[in-house]
Amino acid sequence: MKNRKPAISKLVASFDNELRAILMSDLRAKKGTRNVFMKAIWTERLSVA
């Protein structure tokens, strides 16, 4: 798990930035649809991590 390629950690970093942006816009929008989207992303991410 720990011996990942730099490209993958770079991808994860950019993914974190996207996730943060989604979270911030979710706080502004306060809509359920984005929450569902967030949960789907986190679930997928946790299954990969």
pLDDT at residue 5 is higher than 70: no
Do 41 and 19 contact (CB within 8 A), yes or no? yes
DSSP 24: H
pLDDT bracket for residue 33 (50, 70, 90): low
pLDDT at residue 1 is higher than 60: no
Distance between CA atoms of 8 and 13, rounded to whole angstroms? 9
Q: What is the mean pLDDT of residues 44-49?
A: 73
CA distances from 8 to 4, 25, 27, 33, 44 (A): 7, 26, 28, 28, 15
Q: Global pTM?
A: 0.33
pLDDT at residue 8 is higher than 60: yes
Determine the distance from the C-alpha atom of residue 44 to the mean position of all C-alpha atoms in its chain, rounded to a whole number. 9
